[in-house]
Amino acid sequence: MIGAGTMGRGIVQLFAQAGHRVHCFDSVDGAAGKAVEFVGGMIGRGVEKGRLGADDFERLRGRIHAAATIADLADCDVVIEAIVEDLEVKRALFRQLEAVVSPQAILASNTSSLVVAEIAAACAHPERVAGLHFFNPVPLMKVAEVIAAVRTAPAVVETLRTLVAGTGHRAVVAADQPGFLVNHAGRGLYTEGLRLLEEQSASADQVDRVLREAAGFRMGPFELLDLTGLDVSSKVMASIYEQFQQEPRFRPSSLVPPRVAAGLFGRKTGQGWYAYAGDKGDVKQLPTVSPVPALPAELKVWVAPDAADREALRALASEAGARWLDHPDPDALLIVQPWGRDATSEAIALGLDATRCVAIDPLPGFGLHRTLMLTAVTTPAMRDAAHALLSQDGTGATVINDSPGFIVQRVLATIVNIAAQIAQRGIASIDDIEDAVKLGLGYPHGPLAWGDRIGGAKVLQILQRMQAGTGDPRYRPSPWLERRVALGLSLRTPEAARS
């Protein structure tokens, strides 16, 4: 292991626990020794908790050695590098390593953002060089990406895959493309979250809350950006966009640079999209949520005939004592449930009075947190009536401004579309895409399985309508998605030639 920082320490621990002998080197004097002590302490916790016997601890501890010089790594079969993220420094190290290790030794880089082939190109034997990308904290994030650069020998990829699998982590194989697999698949949540904010469709805390409570994400995009730090994330967003030759799907937001300039990095500076208190910036201060308005004494409700939740809405209206109408009478609240369209467009398409129209997202189950979307001219009285009605049964509701695809539809459709394009480009296998996203990003489902749950045709419709409504090519559907929907197949159906 070269580099005894955050990642190096975790990687040392992982391989020692899997039964390997590990030598650790760092260019800073004493850093490798400290890392060995640190890892010993981490492993020692297992003894304290009764999970590891004293003998096993000593044996495990004895496998980890601090190396005084790079020459001490001469008999290593695999060298993993996790030093500073700088191409020239990494290239110089790999060149130096080749002179030390055996001709069969594998050289792997833990780089997150560099092109592995550029590191490999510094070596006399680039076929032995690959990426081996772990996530922080290494022992807990149970996935690693094995990156096959253009000249990497298949046997090297296979050895690394087997090596990782032996630690209990899931090894996924990805091509040497920007963001590899996990950081590539993770773009949708951030870019679409920021787009919602740019369009003033919803506030950051509304986007986060809806995605957590209605879609099952552990954290929304703004909570995640605050955790990682906008100083770091903004560079990743810009770099992946540029490395993909300005692909519109990854276009970063103009909202970000002014916030970076102002130091609104997130938890580490006490202020990001949220304000934080506490020593470690661990107490998030939430903006106050406006109270649920009272239900009007007399309420007439009309629901569009094609609304997905029409029967559930009828039951709710009946419990609330509202009058259910079969025609959109002049003083009724008009409820619509569009897919991929904003409330204004839906009102116009159905010939409804937009001032009385409120849209409810049909995608999440009716029992989950509800998103209510206003047209550009919905009156406050109709907004409050809808908010009160939809909160009658104690289910939370968030009221947002016009947005094609509400919050959940557009974010999920974007995530599915990006994953479909990862599959189309052959960057990774379908199983690897699915597992990498679940383990690396913590999403409740793999993105293609998620698309199947929503229905490929629905995802395609959301994207097509968003593209038509906004004119933005970022929403253009991947051919992978289009073909499988046209054929009535699962989004996890592999390409014939690759299966």
Ligand X SMILES: NC(=O)c1ccc[n+]([C@@H]2O[C@H](COP(=O)([O-])OP(=O)(O)OC[C@H]3O[C@@H](n4cnc5c(N)ncnc54)[C@H](O)[C@@H]3O)[C@@H](O)[C@H]2O)c1
Which residues carry out catalysis? 112, 133, 145, 183
What's the CA gap between 476 and 465, in Å, rounded?
A: 10
Residues 6 or more apart whose CB falls under 8 angstroms from that of 224 comprise 189, 190
CA angle, residues 441, 198, 448, in degrees to nearest 5:
30
Determine the 3-state secondary structure of 236 from DSSP. Answer: helix
107 binds ligand X (CB under 6 A): no
Question: CB of residue 171 vs ligand X: minimum separation in angstroms?
Answer: 15
> 221 with 277: CB under 8 angstroms?
no
Question: CB of residue 10 vs ligand X: minimum separation in angstroms?
Answer: 8
Closest among 101, 106, 118 to 156, alpha carbons compared: 106
The smaller minimum CB distance to ligand X, of residues 268 and 458, is found at: 268
What's the CA gap between 432 and 427, in Å, rounded?
A: 10
The number of helices, as runs of H, and strands, as runs of E, in the chain is: 20, 15
Exactly one of 1, 17, 73, 112 binds ligand X (CB under 6 A); which one?
112
# residues contacting ligand X (CB under 6 A): 22
96 binds ligand X (CB under 6 A): no
What's the CA gap between 320 and 221, in Å, rounded?
A: 35
82 binds ligand X (CB under 6 A): yes
183 binds ligand X (CB under 6 A): no
23: its two tokens: 């030598």
The smaller minimum CB distance to ligand X, of residues 64 and 412, is found at: 64
Question: CB of residue 376 vs ligand X: minimum separation in angstroms?
Answer: 42
Q: How far apart are the first and last CA of the chain?
A: 36
The smaller minimum CB distance to ligand X, of residues 134 and 475, is found at: 134
What's the CA gap between 417 and 420, in Å, rounded?
A: 5
Amino acid letter at 277?
A: A
193 binds ligand X (CB under 6 A): no
What's the CA gap between 438 and 453, in Å, rounded?
A: 15
Please identify, among the stretches 83-91, 184-192, 304-312, 484-492, the one whose residues bind ligand X according to the rule CB under 6 A: 83-91
The smaller minimum CB distance to ligand X, of residues 32 and 211, is found at: 32
Exactly one of 17, 78, 97, 111 binds ligand X (CB under 6 A); which one?
111
Place of tokens 């995530």: 415
243 binds ligand X (CB under 6 A): no
Letters for 19-38 (x = contact with ligand X by CB under 6 A, - = none) are -------xxx--x-------
Q: Which of residues 403-422 bind ligand X (CB under 6 A)?
A: none
Letters for 116-145 (x = contact with ligand X by CB under 6 A, - = none) are -------------------xx---------
Using CB under 6 A as the criterion, which residues of the chain lie in contact with ligand X when the complex forms?
2-8, 26-28, 31, 82-85, 89, 93, 110-112, 135-136
